[in-house]
Amino acid sequence: AQKITQTQPGMFVQEKEAVTLDCTYDTSDQSYGLFWYKQPSSGEMIFLIYQGSYDEQNATEGRYSLNFQKARKSANLVISASQLGDSAMYFCAMRESNTGFQKLVFGTGTRLLVSP
Amino acid sequence: GAGVSQSPRYKVAKRGQDVALRCDPISGHVSLFWYQQALGQGPEFLTYFQNEAQLDKSGLPSDRFFAERPEGSVSTLKIQRTQQEDSAVYLCASSFPVTLSAEQYFGPGTRLTVT
């Protein structure tokens, strides 16, 4: 079974609108972390936001927020007020305690295109 | 400060050649990771170092892949007798603490094309 599932290969949004990128995960661990990374065409992975499994509040970082629904095992990324520079690939990833909090397991990504 | 750097940025190898990919992590970062990213896919874990110790190499796809970090800083990923299926972007990442929330800082990657 896939550990991280991103079902949206591509998403389109107009500038200044909000967009939600979906992510569901599969783990039997009680302690785990969820991450979102952005990968522009230059190729470098840029960390956006983190949510721990025990965090009661949804994480927020500027225009990024994470809609964490633990019972549904979903961790959707919400980008508010989209900008042209937000056009990129977005990856959801998980780190589990049974791997010693080491490696990240990534989904297949969602390509976001922001139009003027 | 300087981020994670990787060299070369692009490498073309003929099938059967050996290649060596270098990663310079952020100074002082204890943990170093290698990932392989095939076209249109997310990165997949290859191996993990804590200082000079290779603690996890479960993701290395075959015994043609070998990684080292002899002095606990710079790391080299070596691929022997390259095959076309090795064509991918190889990403290196480093982090300081080994905790659940520790961010991994990624380099720009090396794009390997095997012809």
Given an 8 Å threshold on Cβ–Cβ distance, is A104 in contact with B105? no
CB distance from A52 to chain B under 8 Å?
yes
Q: How confident is the model at residue A98 (pLDDT cuts 50, 70, 90)?
A: confident
Beta bridge partners of B64: none
Given an 8 Å threshold on Cβ–Cβ distance, is A102 in contact with B48? yes
Contacting residues of A for B42, CB less than 8 Å apart: 4, 91, 93, 106-109
Given an 8 Å threshold on Cβ–Cβ distance, is B42 in contact with A91? yes
Task: For residue B66, count other CB atoms closer than 10 A to its CB.
Answer: 16
Closest CA in chain B for residue A103: B45
pLDDT value at A14 more than 60: yes
Given an 8 Å threshold on Cβ–Cβ distance, is B99 in contact with A4? no
Q: For chain A, give the percent of residues with pLDDT over 70.
A: 97
Give the per-residue pLDDT at B99: 80
Given an 8 Å threshold on Cβ–Cβ distance, is A102 in contact with B103? no
The C-alpha atoms of residue B51 and residue B31 are separated, in whole angstroms, by: 6
Write down the mean pLDDT value for chain B. Answer: 94
The C-alpha atoms of residue A29 and residue A37 are separated, in whole angstroms, by: 22
H, E, C per residue of chain A: CCCEECCCCEEEEECCCCEEECCEECCCCCCEEEEEEEECCCCCCEEEEEEECCCCCCCEECCEEEEEECCCCEEEEEECCCCHHHCEEEEEEEEEHHHCCCCCEECCCEEEEEEC
pLDDT value at A93 more than 70: yes
H, E, C per residue of chain B: CCCCEEECCEEEECCCCCEEEEEECCCCCCEEEEEEECCCCCCEEEEEEECCEEEECCCCCCCCEEEECCCCCCEEEEECCCCHHHCEEEEEEEECCCCCCCCCEECCCEEEEEC
Task: Indicate which of B47, B100, B112 best probes the interface with A, i.e. most A CBs within 10 Å of its own CB.
Answer: B100
Look up tokens 């297949």; give the residue. Answer: A108
CB neighbour burial string for B5-42, b if at least 16 within 10 angstroms, e if fewer: ebeeeebebeeeeebebebbbbeebebbbbbbbeeeeb
Look up tokens 């080292």; give the residue. Answer: B68
Query: A16, A74 in Cβ contact below 8 A?
Result: no
Tell me the mean pLDDT in the region A28-38.
94
Give the per-residue pLDDT at A101: 62
Q: How many contacts (CB atoms, under 8 Å) link A and B?
A: 67
Give the per-residue pLDDT at A83: 97
Per DSSP bridges, beta strands B44-50 and B88-95 are unpaired
Range of weakest confidence among A33-42, A66-75, B61-70, B95-104: B95-104
In 3D, which of A46, A19, A23 has the Cα closest to residue A34?
A23
